[in-house]
Amino acid sequence: MSRRAIVLLVAGIAIHAVFLGSLISPGHYLNPLFVEGTHNIGEGQGSDFYAFYQAGRYVLEGRDIYTRPMEDPERVVPYAYFYRYLPFVAYTVGVAVNAMPPRAAYWFWVALCEAVLALCILATRRATRDGELFACLAFMWLAYSPLYIEQYMGQFNLIMGSLIFAT
């Protein structure tokens, strides 16, 4: 691999480290760059994730998954957007993440997204023999700014995209 390719990989890793730093910092210093980071109705970090967590709890309790968590005094999540996904998500992912407390489940989700990202980068490496091309593609995986806000909100577009990529 050329020096230029190595520099590009290191830059991608550094940018991704900035994303993760913002994700774990109390001030979330990258949030002003994203509308969802500064103007969301769900109050903050993990809002979308908590929506499908709460919907999974409603499944376990035999309640309507489309109950608005913001208006439910019995909700188990600290805050959430309204649930707007297909029932399949509540009955699968939502139920599964209820094996952990909400905050721990959110961080598990972030770790899972990081693992999927690593697998996508490895699959990209296997798909190309050219070191410079791989470095460019890995950089795009690592420095893709919407991934930061996706993890901040707790969405699952990367997971869906990786399934398409795997096909």
Q: Quick: pLDDT tens for 69-78.
A: 888 888 899 8
- Here the tokens at position 67 are 């109950």
- Report CA 7 to chain centroid distance, whole Å: 26
Where does residue 3 rank: exposed (0-12), middle (13-18), buried (19+ CB within 10 A)? exposed
Angstrom distances, CA of residue 152 to CA of 10, 36, 99, 130: 23, 9, 21, 33
pLDDT tens-digit readout, 104-124? 999 999 999 999 999 999 999
